[in-house]
Structure 1
Amino acid sequence: MASYLLKMPLSIRTTVLRQVGLPLYNTSHGYHEEEVKKTLQQFPGGSVDLQKDDSGIGILTLNNPSKMNAFSGVMMLQLLEKVIELENWTAGKGVIVRGAKNTFSSGSDLNAVKALATPEDGMALCMFMQNTLTRFTRLPLISVALVQGRALGGGAELTTACDFRLMTPESEIRFVHKEMGIIPSWGGASRLIEIIGSQAALQVLGGALKLDPTKALSIGMAGEILQSSDETKSVEEAQAWLAQFVNGPPEVIRALKKSVCSGKELYLEDALQNERDLLGTLWGGAAHLQAIARKGKFNKL
């Protein structure tokens, strides 16, 4: 639960959560986004690509295969741009995050890591990525990380920003931060606790454990192990898996995701109020009335 939300009066917190794109950090925290963007622009390489389908499912691809899809500075900037694009995609219902060439992501590009060596640099990068991934987690889209190959370090953290994780048979997730002399800084530790609990998270982080699909499934890290390791086939499997949860009108799926987000981040009173207000946008609407009409016909059979 975000600490800054808990410090706010009850009447304000729900409004804050509804504001799409609200960052965790701003100048009051000593965070200056435009300065961070200028710094990140100095580290080119790779791209983050977004394909939006008429079905309402988008595919977000990390594309830097020569470096195991590690995030360059430019890719971090592009990730924020794609998140903003998804925030404004009113027809969207779901998104799949994957890496190009059958591997997920090895985290941060070491060239950028070596150049950004001061504690101040690390804190600025931390705040930028936490802002971006928090906005991603709050998207009114059901999100899936398709883990093909390896998801290491920051790549492992990115998987925790998704609602679900699907793994191909030969893939792995590994939080290698301890071996790099740091801790997760993109929000991965906090989100990992939500997913698998504090004791299991401490084991995974403290042991820098390799989570193969079977282990990840057993501790609740993975939602399912896909049948194929083939890049194209596993994407198709992931699309079919996600389709079962986003079948329906966009306004209903998006409201469902918003209600779950508020339930995770807000006190019960605020979450209930948000649920009430979301219902008010749907009750008596086209999807609701059509469903009632269909149910009425079914009951007469």
Structure 2
Amino acid sequence: MSAPLLVEEHDDRVVLRLNRPEVRNAIDQALVDALHAACADLEQTPRVAIIVGSGRTFAAGADIAQLRERRRDDALRGINSGIFDRIHKLPMPTIALVDGYALGGGAELAYACDFRIGTPTAKIGNPEPGLGILAAAGAAWRLRELVGEPLAKEVLLAGRVLDADEAVAVRLLNDVVEADDLEPAGHRLADRIAAQAPLAVRLTKSVFHAPREAHPLIDDVAQAVLFETEEKQARMTAFLDRKEKR
């Protein structure tokens, strides 16, 4: 049996490839466990994470066969919500590459990422109420933050599925590229992130997601840390040297 998640290591990034193409990368317990293991590594060695599906599908949802057998205690364990929240809180930015369907849990995985790039065939939605359940792994609140309440309610309550044009128009997708350019586009974005000071990126992400009542103290503390780094001195000195040479 092949691994449910393929991990491709690079110096400044990791590609996490959902590897269940025979079921359109449906998210089952084995895939959740593998994602937890990947997150543990990224928490210890922070790098950009690029998440992509095998085949021509990002993730068509949770594994319905497993989902049908789950009961109250399984829901209270937060199987999918726990892993998506962990991905959302990773130290460095995450990029979801959405080709084809990102439905149900697949959509919620994409919502948990910092960036989303899609292809013209991308379809994003949350059909959970049609199966007698709700989108309980982040969509019920995260989608509203991403696209606003009126559109989020159409997706969550009326079964609307967004195509690529609709998703990029509301910035749910940051960009749309052809399928053969999807992974290169993800790496180009990762290159842009990697060109920044890594600790500055990490702290900016933390400050960005901090609760409102934590500001401005958390901003000032994070800046104080950065002011003392050698990288801040080196980058600012290089900037001033370039300016003097013009």
How does the TM-score come out when normalised to structure 1? 0.76
Contact 2:95–2:113, Cα closer than 8 Å, also in 1: yes
Residue 271 (structure 1) aligns with: 215
Distance 1:248 1:219, change over 3 A: closer
Deviation, 1:45, is 7.7
Residue 11 (structure 1) aligns with: none
Deviation, 1:162, is 0.6
Residue 102 (structure 1) aligns with: 56
Contact 1:96–1:145, Cα closer than 8 Å, also in 2: yes
Residue 123 (structure 1) aligns with: 76
Residue 92 (structure 2) aligns with: 141
Residue 49 (structure 1) aligns with: 6
Deviation, 1:298, is 2.7
CA distance in 2, matches of 1:242, 1:189: 28
Deviation, 1:64, is 0.5
5 Å matches for 1:190-201? 190-201=141-152
CA distance in 2, matches of 1:299, 1:236: 32
Deviation, 1:153, is 0.9
Contact 1:45–1:72, Cα closer than 8 Å, also in 2: no
Secondary structure at the aligned position of 2:179 is classed as coil
Contact 2:80–2:105, Cα closer than 8 Å, also in 1: no
The answer to whether 1:69 aligns with 2:22 is no
The answer to whether 1:60 aligns with 2:16 is yes
The answer to whether 1:229 aligns with 2:179 is yes
Q: Deviations over 1:235-280 (max 9, x none)?
A: 1121113322331232222122112121xxx133x13222222222
Question: 2:66 is matched with which residue: 101, 104, 112?
Answer: 112
Secondary structure at the aligned position of 1:59 is classed as strand
5 Å matches for 1:1-301? 47-54=4-11, 56-90=12-46, 92=47, 94-116=48-70, 118-124=71-77, 127-226=78-177, 228-230=178-180, 233-262=181-210, 266-268=211-213, 270-301=214-245
Secondary structure at the aligned position of 1:71 is classed as coil
Secondary structure at the aligned position of 2:102 is classed as strand
Secondary structure at the aligned position of 2:215 is classed as helix
Secondary structure at the aligned position of 1:102 is classed as coil
CA distance in 2, matches of 1:45, 1:72: 14
Contact 1:142–1:246, Cα closer than 8 Å, also in 2: no
Deviation, 1:89, is 1.1
Deviation, 1:76, is 1.3
Distance 1:71 1:294, change over 3 A: same
Secondary structure at the aligned position of 1:97 is classed as strand
Contact 1:47–1:75, Cα closer than 8 Å, also in 2: yes
Deviation, 1:69, is 0.5
CA distance in 1, matches of 2:60, 2:200: 35
Contact 2:4–2:34, Cα closer than 8 Å, also in 1: yes
Unpaired stretches in structure 1, ≥5 consecutive residues: 1-43
Deviation, 1:67, is 0.4
CA distance in 2, matches of 1:46, 1:274: 40
Runs of 4+ in 1 over 6 A off after TM superposition: none
Residue 16 (structure 1) aligns with: none
Deviation, 1:212, is 0.9
Number of residue pairs the alignment of both structures matches: 245
Deviation, 1:46, is 5.1
How does the TM-score come out when normalised to structure 2? 0.92
CA distance in 1, matches of 2:169, 2:8: 32
Contact 1:157–1:188, Cα closer than 8 Å, also in 2: yes
RMSD over aligned CA atoms reads 1.8
Q: Higher RCO, 1 or 2 (CA under 8 Å, sep at least 6)?
A: 1
